[in-house]
Amino acid sequence: MIRTRRLLIGLLFAATFAAADMPRTPKHPATDTYFGIEVTDDYRWLENGDDPEVRRWSEEQSAHTRQVLEALPDRSRFAKRLEELNLGASPDYLGLSSAGGRLFALKQQPPRNQPLLIALRSADDLESTKIIVDPHQFDSKDATAMDFYVPSHDGKLVAVCLSKGGSEDGSVSVFETETGCMLKDVVPRVNYPTGGGSVAWNADSTGFWYTRYPRGDERPPADQNFYQQIYFHKLGTPPEQDRYVLGKDFPRIAEIDLDASEDGRWVLATVANGDGGEFAHYLLGPSGDWTQITKFSDLVPQVKFGPEGTLFLLSHQGTPKGKIQRLPRDKPQLAAAKTIVPESDLVIRSLTPTRSMLYVVDLAGGPSQLRAFDHDGKPLSVPETKPISSIGQVVKLEGDVVLFRTESFLEPAAWYRFDPKSGKSTRTALFRTTPADFSDCEVVREFATSKDGTRVPLNILRRKGIELSGANPTLLYGYGGYGISLSPAFRPSRKVWLDRGGVLVIANLRGGGEFGEDWHKAGHLTRKQNVFDDFAACAQHLIDRRYTNPKKLAIEGGSNGGLLMGAALTQHPALFAAVIAHVGLFDMLRVELHPNGAFNVTEFGTVKDRPQFDALFAYSPYHHVQDGTTYPACLLLTGHNDGRVDPHHSRKFVARLQAAAPSGSAKPALLRYSFDTGHGMGTPLAERIAQDADVYAFLAWQLGMSGGAEGRK
């Protein structure tokens, strides 16, 4: 009785505080006109994150949110259990590469907040692990992170891009593999969230090609994070002397990825035209000349180096699910490409050529699998994979032997070695264990029917024997954009939700790549509304199948998925009880005015084009909040250093939701604002745990789960 009384008092305090002490946001209207349509923006002033008044407002909102969340009785219990699940896990090994007879990896080793860069002799020899870079050595607050790393061909040196505070604004440093010593070479402006960054070493490891953004007065201030180009750095020389190589004719929103052949004599530049899925490819040969292999219109998303002077291409030209072609490097005319693997019912996601084989990762609506062929396209045997699982990276070793990473919703990731000579795959020492035991859970795939009749897959994680009573707390997650596929992935933190009797659902919406490029195109530009319709259909499916009801249904998404959350709550406010939106896009009329937003034009469209403006304005969440409407309870999370989605989206949207709430509404709109993080990349482990604790406590509060089981171990 005492515990129940304390619980009720805590919840009552949180609800009262959330409503009564909400910080007030002044309105300073600004008006824009698009094609004769006037649009008023009351919170334009919140866009300037450097304004002291905006910072003060953000601090007040953050303090208010912290008081509300800390008052929730479940918050400390969730935090404790999440620490047990995350800190009690064994190391995870990500981003493997092979060079000079060594393996390199990013080792996430709890309780360390940032991954380590390590080298080891093989995937079965953990005792040979050598730490090359520990970000903690640069920053005691663990705010420094590695954006990417690239070892030299002989494995003796590693180029590492480092950035701070989740900014992804990175400079490249060079480290000795054997000693971990950092050379004097520091190359600035290599990485930024808008177009990323990349490095490719030359053959004798005396230098590397790299991507670079404008420095100094090379471009006007508005263009400082655009016009990415390729330069070459020779070790031991100042970066001011680096040689321009390629890119002056690339688009303003070019995103460049570099790759070198095994012998370092050839370099491939993949150039994306923003984020909409268009790619061009350029090849540098031993002669020192660059040759353009493909154009944006050729629909070739990937080109990979093969052995003996070959190139392998993944093409969507006339085949939205993908076909594989082969070209000679010395005569890379696309018209002469030979198709060796034709299109099938599976979606080709990636390819990895080895000495005499070609490993292909396929998507089947979300889950993925592995196939293999010889270089003429003849199918070869490969290990079977479990249903509703995913294949991540494939790393070639000696000959045709590869390592591949696999995981599922219920089983942690593990790296396997496959040797085609024996036909066997063997789990290596690079596997993860965790206290999160999902043996009492199961995954089922069901299909919702969208507004236009399209069947949309749902991956439903639930406890075995669950009763379909229509009253299960359910969390529905979605994304639906950029051709990105939501494949099965293991997350220990999900166990706290399932142990509370919750159901977790991941939807494979249009806009993603789960069923190929047609599936992506059906949810981008002027067809973006299809994504929101798919998501609403998934929610209704869960209600119709008696998993849950609107008072027990919550939704979650991040970035483009945050846009989805905004559209879902403004279009269907009565369908959900709570909304979690991470680093979301909400004002779709002003996205393109900020650096990374310009890269999104090829995915979302532009307000300069009438049909695209009409589509954007029709769903822009910020512009569809209606005064006096009771919206679901909302928790918006964002980071001040986010260079991908400007945090002003969350600032403006939460202000608009707070102003629109009916008098006396018990449904809060809260902003969790971090001044030390960005879009999520480089966020310290401790902060990720804290975020999860806040999210689950908020959901338990809003869905009436508070005071439930502590969490079965």
Total domains present in the chain? 1
pLDDT at 383: 83
pLDDT at 1: 45
390, 559, 620, 706: which is the annotated catalytic residue?
559
On the question of pLDDT at 435 being above 60, the answer is yes
Tokens describing residue 237 = 């020389």
541, 582, 679, 706: which is the annotated catalytic residue?
679
Within a domain: 576:
yes
Nearest CA-CA partner of 558 in 513, 496, 506: 506
On the question of pLDDT at 6 being above 80, the answer is no
Q: Are strands 130-133 and 116-120 parallel, antiparallel or unpaired?
A: antiparallel
User: Could you read off the pLDDT of 382-411 as tens digits, one per residue?
Assistant: 888 888 999 999 999 999 999 999 999 999
What distance, in Å, lies between the first and last C-alpha atoms of the chain? 25
Q: How confident is the model at residue 711 (pLDDT cuts 50, 70, 90)?
A: very low
What is the percent of the chain where pLDDT is above 70?
96
Range of the domain at 561: 23-85+436-702
- 457 — phi, psi (to 5°)? -75, 145
User: Could you read off the pLDDT of 49-59 as tens digits, one per residue?
Assistant: 999 999 999 99
Instruction: Name the average pLDDT for the chain.
Output: 94
On the question of pLDDT at 587 being above 70, the answer is yes
3 state DSSP class of 512: strand
Assign residue 631 the CATH number of its domain: 3.40.50.1820
- Kindly provide the b/e burial profile for residues 74-110, where b requires at least 16 CB atoms within 10 angstroms of the residue's own CB: bbebbbebbbbbbeebebbbebbbbbeebbbbbbbbb
Whole-angstrom Cα distance, residue 427 to residue 408?
15
pLDDT at 9: 43
On the question of pLDDT at 326 being above 50, the answer is yes
Q: How confident is the model at residue 710 (pLDDT cuts 50, 70, 90)?
A: very low
On the question of pLDDT at 654 being above 50, the answer is yes
Within a domain: 273:
no
Distance from CA of residue 637 to its chain's centroid?
15
Residue 530 host element (H or E): helix 529-544
Within a domain: 281:
no
pLDDT at 665: 84
Q: What is the DSSP string of 570-603?
A: HH-TTS-SEEEEES----TTSGGGSHHHHHTHHH
3 state DSSP class of 562: helix
Cis omega (within 30 of 0) on the bond before 457?
no
On the question of pLDDT at 17 being above 60, the answer is no
Within a domain: 217:
no
Integer CA distances (angstroms), 404 to 391, 410, 602, in order:
7, 18, 33
Q: What is the DSSP string of 635-661?
A: EEEEETT-SSS-THHHHHHHHHHHHHS
Nearest CA-CA partner of 643 in 163, 116, 220: 163
Alpha-carbon torsion, ordered 83, 89, 90, 92, to 10 deg: -90
> Which one-letter amino acid corresponds to residue 678?
G
User: Could you read off the pLDDT of 459-500 as tens digits, one per residue?
Assistant: 999 999 999 999 999 999 999 999 999 999 999 999 999 999
Q: What is the DSSP letter of 566?
A: H
pLDDT at 165: 95
Within a domain: 579:
yes
Within a domain: 484:
yes
Q: Is 559 a catalytic residue?
A: yes
User: Could you read off the pLDDT of 240-274 as tens digits, one per residue?
Assistant: 999 999 999 999 999 999 999 999 999 999 999 99
pLDDT at 707: 59
Q: What is the DSSP letter of 695?
A: H
Does 244 or 21 have the greater pLDDT score? 244
Q: Is 520 a catalytic residue?
A: no
Within a domain: 198:
no
What is the percent of the chain where pLDDT is above 90?
92
Give mean pLDDT, residues 557-572: 98
Within a domain: 539:
yes
pLDDT at 15: 55
pLDDT at 7: 47
Give mean pLDDT, residues 377-382: 94
Give mean pLDDT, residues 524-530: 98
